[in-house]
Chains A and B, each alone.
Chain A
Amino acid sequence: MNIVISNRSDQPIYEQIKEQIRSAIIRDEIAENEMLPSIRSLAHDLKISVITTKRAYDELELEGFIATVHGKGCFVLPKNKEQIREYKLKEIEQHLTNAITNAKMIRMTSDELTQLLHILLKEED
C-alpha cells in the first residue's frame, strides 16, 4: 500500500490518509486481517504528527474498515459489501452533482446532459 500526502492540498491530512487507506482496502491492496503500519511508524514515515495519524485510524475504525487490538495494532476487517456500495454511491452522487453544476454554467439542458451520459455509457460497453 502506498500513502502519498500533499501539504498543499485543501483536504486535511487526516482525510487524505483515511481516503487512501480506505481505497487500498476496497481495491484489495491490503487483505483482510492484514496489519496496518503502527500509528507512530506511519506518523514518522509521513513526517506528520501522531495525533493527525491517530485521527485517520480512529475514523476508519468508526466506519468499520479496521479494528484495533490493544497492544498489537490495527487490522483490516472483513469487507462489508453493503458499506462499500454505500461509499461508492455517495461518490457517484457527488460527481454527478459536479457534472450538473458545470452543465448549468454553460446552459446545457437536462436532455443534452442525459444524452451525453448515454453516449459515454455506450462507449464504455
Chain B
Amino acid sequence: MENAIEINGLRKKFGNFGVEDVSFTLPKGFIMGFVGKNGAGKTTTIKAILNMLNRDSGEIKIFGKDNLQHEAEIKQKIGVVMDSPFYEQEWTLVQVGKMLKPFYPGWSDQKFNEMLKQFQLAPNKRVKELSRGMKMKIMVACALAHDPDLLILDEPTSGLDAVARDELLEILQSFISNENKSILFSTHITTDLEKIADYLTFIDNGKIVHSDTKDNMLEKYVIVKGGRDALTPEQKALIIGYHETKVNFDGITDKANLKNFPKSLVIEPCTMDELVVRFNKEGRNKS
C-alpha cells in the first residue's frame, strides 16, 4: 500500500521546545487524527511536512517522494487549512480565489464556485465580515479548489460550534470517499475523531506516544479502577496514567495485563478522551 505521509526521525528544537524522533505513517486513502494538547508539537510537525521551517534532522516522504527534493511538485498535491486565514481582510471571497489561483496550475474556478455555493458563502462578502465557521469554510474551499490528494488541517475545529464542526466532518468524509485521497487532521477535540478517524497519532511533549488504527487502540486498552491498596507496585507499573486518591485508584492498561490483576477491579471500555488524558498524565508521571 502506498503511503500519503511517511515521517522518520523528525527533529526540530527551539531551545527546550520542539519535536524529537517523530515517526509515523499515514497510508493512502485514510484519515489520521493528530492528537495532542496545545504546545505538544502538532503545528511544528505540520510545518515540517510543508517545509515551512528548517528541521534539524529526519526524513519526510509525501506520496513516496522526499518533501525537500520534490517540494514544488508535492505542494501542488497538498491542500492546507491552518487555524486562521492569511487572506487580506478587505478582499471579497471572489478576490481570494483570484489571488490564489496563479499559485496552483490545478486550480479550478468551477470547483471553487461550487464549494462557495455548497458552503453557502456569498461571493461578495469580505474576509473581515466572516464568522469563525465561515472562515474555516473559505479555507477549505481554497484548499480543495486545486484538487489535492492530501489535505492537511491544523486545528480546523477549534472555536467552531457543533453545527459547523459537523459540517466540516461531512466535507472531510466526502473528500475521502475517493480512495486516492488522504487527510491529516490535528486537533485536541477528540469527539471529532471518535467518529471518522481511521488512524490516531498521539503526540506529547514533542514525542510520539502512540500511533495506530483507532479501532486497535480503543480495543487494546481498558479503564481499570479499584481500591488504592488493590495493586502491588509491579502491577501499578502496568497502568498508564495511574491516578490515586484517598479512597481509590484509576488508570488505563493493556487488556493483556488483566490476567495479572485481581478479579475485584472494575474494568470498563476505553474512550478516546480517556486515552488522551491518560497518555498525557503518564508523560507527567514520568517526568
- Residues in chain A within 8 A of chain B (CB atoms): 7, 10, 12, 14, 40-41, 43-44, 47-52, 55
Interface residues of B in 175-192 (CB under 8 A from A): 176-179
**Complex formed: what's the CA distance from A44 to B213 in Å?**
18
The majority secondary structure among interface residues of chain A is helix
Interface residues of B in 245-277 (CB under 8 A from A): 269
Contact A14 B179 (CB under 8 A): no
Contact A51 B215 (CB under 8 A): yes
Which of A10, A41, A49, A55 touches B31 (beta carbons < 8 Å)?
A49
Across-interface contacts of B215 in A (CB, < 8 A):
12, 14, 49, 51-52, 55
Across-interface contacts of B285 in A (CB, < 8 A):
none
Instruction: For the complex formed, measure the closest distance between the CB of B94 and the CB atoms of chain A, giving whole angstroms.
Output: 30
Across-interface contacts of B107 in A (CB, < 8 A):
none
**Complex formed: what's the CA distance from A14 to B196 in Å?**
13
Could you give 5 example pairs across A and B, Cβ below 8 Å? A12-B219, A40-B178, A47-B170, A49-B215, A50-B176
Number of B residues with CB within 8 Å of any CB on chain A: 21
Known: A43-B196, A44-B173, A55-B215. 17 other contacts (CB 8 A): A12-B215, A40-B176, A40-B177, A40-B178, A40-B179, A41-B177, A44-B174, A47-B169, A47-B170, A47-B195, A47-B196, A48-B195, A48-B196, A49-B214, A49-B215, A50-B198, A51-B198
**Complex formed: what's the CA distance from A7 to B30 in Å?**
21
- Using CB atoms, name the residue of chain A closest to B178: A40
Across-interface contacts of B195 in A (CB, < 8 A):
7, 47-49
Across-interface contacts of B196 in A (CB, < 8 A):
43, 47-49
Across-interface contacts of A49 in B (CB, < 8 A):
30-31, 195-198, 214-215
Instruction: Kindly supply a per-residue 1/0 record for chain B positions 207-231, scoring 1 wherever the CB is within 8 Å of any chain A CB and 0 otherwise.
Output: 0000001110001000000000000
**Complex formed: what's the CA distance from A26 to B246 in Å?**
54
* CB within 8 Å for A51 and B173 given contacts A10-B269, A12-B219: no
**Complex formed: what's the CA distance from A44 to B172 in Å?**
9
Interface presence of B148 (CB below 8 A): no
**Complex formed: what's the CA distance from A1 to B118 in Å?**
29
